[in-house]
Structures are given as C-alpha cells and as structure tokens.
Structure 1
C-alpha cells in the first residue's frame, strides 16, 4: 500500500497520516492473527486452512477495491491482514510437511523467498498499474493473484497432515528468556523505524523533493534489499558475529535516515540512499533470526515465528507512530529524523546484546589447566 497512499488520500479526502493507517491495520492484524490462528488451526487439514485463508484474503481485497468510504477501506485491510496471518503459519507448516527432513530448510527458504519476492516486485509493479489506471486497479491485480493462488491450492495441493505448530503457551515460554525478549524488542524498534518511514515514502518524496515519479526509488530500494539479504547472510557465515552485524546495519540506517531529508532534492544522492536503505532494512532480519536460532536451536519454529511477529508489529507501530507524528504537526520532511532516533535507541540495545553475547561465549569456553 506504501506507493498507493497519495491516490487513497485523494479519493477519500483524508490526510497522508490517515491514509498510512491502511498499512498499520493490515500489519497489526497480520502480526496478531499469525500466532493465534497458527495455534487454533493445529491439526486441521492444511489444504482447507490455506484455501479458507485465500478466500478471506481475496474477498477482503475485493472489498478494498470497491470501498466507497475510508472506514470501509480500513475494515477491508484489517480482514486482509487476518487472511494473510491465517495463511502464513499454515504455509510454513505445509512446506515442512511435504518434503523430507533433509530438504526442509530449502522448502522453508522457498516460502520466505516468496514473501521477499512479493515485496521486491509487488510494490513497484502495483505502482506501475496504479499510475496508469488508479490505485483501485492495483487492488484488483491483488484480487486476481489471490484467485490464481486459491485455484492452485484447491487443484494441486495434496492432502497432507501438517506438523503441529507450537502452542501459544510454548511461544510465551520462549519469550520469557530475557535474551530472546531483548532481541525481539530491538527487532520491533528497527522494523518500526524503517517500515514506518517506508509507509510514507510517496508523500515524503513529493513534499521534500517535489518527486511524483516514485517508481525508480521503490525499485532501487527493492534491488538494494535483495543484495542486502545475500551479502548479509554471507558476512554472518564468514564472521559468526550476527550481533555485531546487526549493529553495523543499524549504524547504516541511522546515517541514511539522518541525511535522507537533505538529500531528497538531489536525484543521484537520493537514489543511492534508497538503495542503501533497502539493503539495510532487509539485512536486519537475518542477524536476528541467527541470534534467536543460536539461543534456542531446539525451538526453531517458535523463535522464527516470534521474529516474524516482531517485524510486523514493529511495522504496524511505526506506521501508526508516523501518522500520529504528522497529525501532531511534525512535517513530512522530519519523519526521517524520527526514524533515525528510533534506530539509535534500538542500536543502544543491540550493543548491549552484543556485549551480552560476548560474555556468554567467554563463560562457555572450557577452562584450560
């Protein structure tokens, strides 16, 4: 929805801050629905759960496309978030259940890759469609894709017994670990700062740089993200220091957000910063997942789900905070500085985690006589 906000604001005669809440409500409902429905649908036929999720998701996006009022649009985005949250856990469970244990990592990677590719390609492509035919046409494109996915699940999905996802009690038990809680908190703040700002990128470009053609900036952000995922993973494997890698990513974010406002009027500088921003934003997930999996290797599905929920809750909180800041009188051009401040807070926590991890490593070393 990030690239569609100006059109939505114009259609319903609302402010940019209000239009941004279409992102807030979707991501919040996704983050809340994913763990709840993951537990409630345990043991249910996977094909039926996935089909029901896609039916809800497709119908909700249809309602978004035909919404005649802004409250109705918000309601439809909430329903779409619930549908996506219902789909997510079942998709991971299905992927793990359809292959042997040796191929499980690759299968889960394909699902994660689908989510990443959807962001990288979906946002710019939706903006292309919206630019030619209006924002509602982008919603109809999502409806069509949802229908194709539903047809594929119904006609091709085998009847399988999915592995039982972790219960809510098991998730909470892991979150009680202070090391996990600290990592999740840093993820939430970092995602809130980055995705919260990304929500308002279209009106920000218009306000600060007079830029109406936002597509190149979204493409370069996505390209940077793809490169960031690859190189960050390689660096983590090479160094074995995910905690410090996350700190480096956050330092880069602070630098980008601190200079973005003044750089937007200069096209080359702005495009470069968008590429670096995308690389940093997408790189922030891998170190956190690595840290959590190291802490609880026997509870991989739980910590991965917690990190995902933290990302989406942070995104929702960031979009909401950005909207509240604009409503309170903060200018669009000041939003990057607000994001820089949030990342700085997260960075202070991350440095503490890095020191904590170093201390754990020292204590775990065998004593030599």
Structure 2
C-alpha cells in the first residue's frame, strides 16, 4: 500500500493546487496589480490545460513506463507551481499555471493504474484513497494554504505545493514499480462516443454544471467581500469542502438504492440552483450564512457520480473512455466558467450578482436534464416494446 499512499499524496497535492489558487486571487491581484477578473484567468488556464492534457498525452505516451510518466508529470507540475510562485507579471503567471495544469492533467488519469497494484478485492479501496486524496486536498489543503498565506504570503503557499509535488515525485521514482501504460481508445472510438447523442447530452450537462459551480467558486473571495465585507473566508471554504465530502461519499449509496442517476441529477441541479440564489441573502444572516456553501459544495461534488454511472450504463464496452471524456468536460467547464464570470465582471457585473448568473445557468442545465429524463423514458418504452415483440 506504500505505492498507493504515494499516489494519494500526489492527488492531494493536485486537489490542493486546483482549488487554493481561487482563494489566493485577491492577494495575487494586489501583488501583480491586476483586477479580479484578470487573476481569475489563472484558474481558467490551469483547468483548461488540465482538461486537454490527458487525452493528448495519453495517446503520445502509450506503451511508455507508467513510473516514468508519473515522475515527469509531477516534475512538470512542480515546475509550474515554482514558476507561479516567482511570477512577476500576469503573462508569466498564466504561462506558469498552464505548465502546472499540463502536469496535473497528465498525472491524474494515470494514477488510476494503482488499481492494478492490489488485489481485485482491494481495488475499490485503492481508488477511493486516491479520489479521497483529491477531495481532502480541497477540504484540508485549501484552508491550510490560506493559513500559510496569512502568516507569510501567497508565494509561500505555492512553494509548499511545489515541495509536496517533489516529495511525491521522488517517492514514486524510488518505490513505484515500472510497467507500460495501456493503449488509449482509438480516434475513431472517441469520435463515435462524442457523436452518440445520448452520451453527448450527458457530457453537456456535466460541462454546464461545472461551468456554473466551479466557475463561481473561483470568485468566492470577491463575492464574500462584496456582499458582506467578509475578509476571513476560511470558514466558508470549510463549509463548502465539508459539504463536498458529504455529497461525494453519500451519492453512491443513493444511486445504488434508486437505480435512477438521471432523477438524482435533477435533484442535485435543483438544490444547487437554490443554494446559489440564496447565497447573497444567506450571507446577510449570520445563522444561515454557511448553509448555501454546504449545499453548494455537496451538490457540486455529488454531481459527477450520477453522470459517470449513467455513462457506464450507456457505454459499458468503453466505459473508462467515456468517463474520462466526462472528466475532461468537467475541467473544461471549470475553465470556461472562470473565464466567463471574469468577462462578466469586466462587462459591469458585480461579484454580488455572480451567484444569480450562475443560478440561472444551472436552471438552464436543469431544463436540459429534464430533456434527458424524457428521452430515457421514451427509450425504455421502446426497448420494452421491442423485447415483448421478440418474446412473441
């Protein structure tokens, strides 16, 4: 399990880095003398490169040693974070975040190879540890990073992430076994999945959900300061992260119990919209100020599992590839959302209005999800009629 622990440290570092930057944006903006909407693009470029790196490099590096790829991925990731820490201009910061995103996007999907290091009975636990590492990086790492930034500065937080990445890199270099990466799906298979209307619909819902949820998360600090003049944002990040842990761990049991991931996704989107619309009002009521963040975090983290479950049901022969495509849509949505809300503020929207804009986008997504449910009902009726005809 030592190898699994090393991979988990890497996933913790990725989760830490992916989410802490959004909380450091005000400090970064002051140092580089740029606006909040500009600093938000640092999140966009990281998540965009994160989303695109995996499918591109998975093809180029097929057959190469997993250990070597993981080491290079963490080296690139650490280099990007070190460069981010010493960035003296906005353009340098964007380039550095792009490099870090490429390393993260290459590492994350390959870390799933840990499942082959343990017996089948323990593979679920191994994968759970790694996914838990990323969520823990959000719940524990982000507040820790903010504490470091408060006592030192934001540069120190990025240096800390760099050191964690190097620790995982050297550990994998020394103790991780060497075996080749499996071949990725062919280009024809990827195109066929995207061309499938039902798969495209599910992935589109994932993209829009991430655009609203993770895009809004980028500007949480600005929202808190603008709505209620809240400078100490760590408790609200804890509320969002704790909600995320509860949501991500509980949704699986609900799916197993109901067998209807599409219905559950509808409830998730409706609750997420409610949380976003109520957020500006809740911040003005001390007794309710954390509730929207808990609900938002829970629904945001829970939203991926029903989508993955639906894709595995729909495309069991290439389930891994379709789930990977869904993951790319998630991070691409995060990048687009960060950029979209940044441009919205440049156009005159205030941070306090961003939750309403995000809530409206979730409502549009909810309409799309209802369309999927309607389509699924028609498909089940058609399949039932076809089976009855075959029985006759």
TM-score class, shorter: over 0.9
3-state SS in 2 of match to 1:83: helix
**Structure 2 counterparts to residues 1-369 of structure 1, below 5 A:** 1-92=21-112, 94-101=113-120, 103-365=122-384, 366-367=387-388
3-state SS in 2 of match to 1:313: helix
Taking only aligned residues, the RMSD between alpha carbons, in angstroms, comes to: 1.5
Given that 1:20 and 1:200 are in contact with CA atoms closer than 8 Å, whether structure 2 keeps it comes out as: yes
Unaligned runs of 5+ in 2: 1-20
Normalised by the length of structure 2, the TM-score is: 0.91
Given that 1:37 and 1:85 are in contact with CA atoms closer than 8 Å, whether structure 2 keeps it comes out as: no
Normalised by the length of structure 1, the TM-score is: 0.96
In the alignment of these two chains, the number of paired residues is 368
CA distance in 2, matches of 1:181, 1:364: 20
CA distance in 1, matches of 2:305, 2:98: 28
CA distance in 2, matches of 1:53, 1:268: 44
Q: Which residue of 1 aligns with 2:13?
A: none
Instruction: Render the CA deviation track for 1:121-171: whole Å, top value 9, x for unaligned.
Output: 222221121121111111011011001111111011011233323234322
CA distance in 2, matches of 1:9, 1:76: 16
CA distance in 1, matches of 2:251, 2:382: 27
CA 1:38–1:89 in structure 2 vs 1: closer, same or farther (change >3 Å)? farther
Unaligned runs of 5+ in 1: none
Task: Compute the displacement of 1:358 (Å).
Answer: 2.1
CA distance in 1, matches of 2:80, 2:167: 15
Instruction: Render the CA deviation track for 1:186-210: whole Å, top value 9, x for unaligned.
Output: 1100111001110000111011111
CA distance in 2, matches of 1:299, 1:102: 22
Instruction: Render the CA deviation track for 1:184-236: whole Å, top value 9, x for unaligned.
Output: 01110011100111000011101111100100000011001111112221111
